[in-house]
Structure 1
Amino acid sequence: MANYEQRLAAMGLVLPQPLKLPSNMVLPFPWVNVRGNRAFVSGHGPQNTDGTPAGPFGAVGENISIEEAKASARKVALSMLGSLKRELGSLDRITGWCRVFGMVNCAPRFANPPAVINGFTELIIEVFGPEVGSHSRSAIGVAGLPLNFPVEIEAEVIVST
């Protein structure tokens, strides 16, 4: 049986603490909503290990490079895995990644959101392997995201009950 948390540790990766929001920001929804054998994961942004929002902040193609945004997407994967671990108790309950929806804060005419969201997909497949980690995916450009994040991603996973 795979131990995804050990795999993360072997990769030198640490799951962040819960997101520390600005005091004036209230989010009236759960980060992870489990329904039967599905977990619907709300949109996550990049975090530092202490739970604070992680920069750089802004629009890709304006003040953020594709490489910086791709690194932010990897941080989003860790943020999401942290939320899943807190909700499920163990990442080993994840038996399949179904779909991922990635949004990239883009400068006008930036046309490569998929390259940014690849940072998320590559980390998920590296941790879970292609059989469990492969997922359908959309990657779109948007005019802005909460906290001026460069990337926000949501997902749906299958979990053992």
Structure 2
Amino acid sequence: MTENVEARLATLGIALPDAPSPVANYVPFSLAGNMLFISGQVSKAGDGTLAKGQLGDGVSVEEGREAARLCALNILAQARAALGNLDRIAQVIRLTAFVNAAPSFTDHPQVVNGASDLMVEVLGDKGRHTRVAVGVSSLPLGCAVEIDATILVNG
């Protein structure tokens, strides 16, 4: 991918939200050497609305996928706040995703693809990552999905 990340976002018609503020006593990101750790980002849209509910109990896989995409947008917003420039991303190393899921729900990977697909769409091969997709019985604020990230940074 030869164009810069901000240009790629514009080409895709994607506007990143402002980086969300923490809702408790933690920092939204931590830069340690060339590793950027981004705290869990919930499924919150830029207008402040939350994608809430439980997959397999009123929330569809497609709605869950969109919730995971919102998490990924917030991850990129936090990365921009931390780095000043998304072109400093060398590689998304890992996404750890938590899906608010009913006990019988088993399509966690399809939900988390909403985040994974966005990372590759925006960052190309630098967006390819390892990942964990785990079902949990609840998430903060009743959100459908929460995802954290580990990112390798240039300079």
Shorter-chain TM-score tier: over 0.9
Is 1:6 paired with 2:2? no
Is 1:62 paired with 2:57? yes
Q: Verify the 8 A CA contact 1:31 1:42 in the aligned structure 2.
A: yes
Helix, strand or coil: the match of 2:69?
A: helix
Identify the match of residue 142 of structure 2 among 144, 148, 152: 148
Which structure 1 segments of 5+ residues have no match? none
Q: Give the number of the structure whose residues are more often strand, by fraction.
A: 2
- Identify the residue that residue 116 of structure 1 maps to in structure 2: 111
Q: Verify the 8 A CA contact 1:45 1:53 in the aligned structure 2.
A: no
C-alpha distance after superposition, 1:35-81 (max 9, x if no partner) = 0000011100122223x1422x1100101000001011111111111
Is 1:47 paired with 2:44? yes
Normalising by structure 1, we get a TM-score of 0.90
- CA apart distance, 1:20: 5.9
Identify the match of residue 28 of structure 1 among 25, 30, 55: 25
Aligned length: 154
Q: Distance in 1 between matches of 2:112 and 2:19?
A: 22
Is 1:136 paired with 2:137? no
Q: Distance in 1 between matches of 2:142 and 2:86?
A: 29
Q: Distance in 1 between matches of 2:28 and 2:119?
A: 18
Q: Distance in 2 between matches of 1:35 and 1:65?
A: 37
Which structure 2 segments of 5+ residues have no match? none
- Identify the residue that residue 97 of structure 1 maps to in structure 2: 92
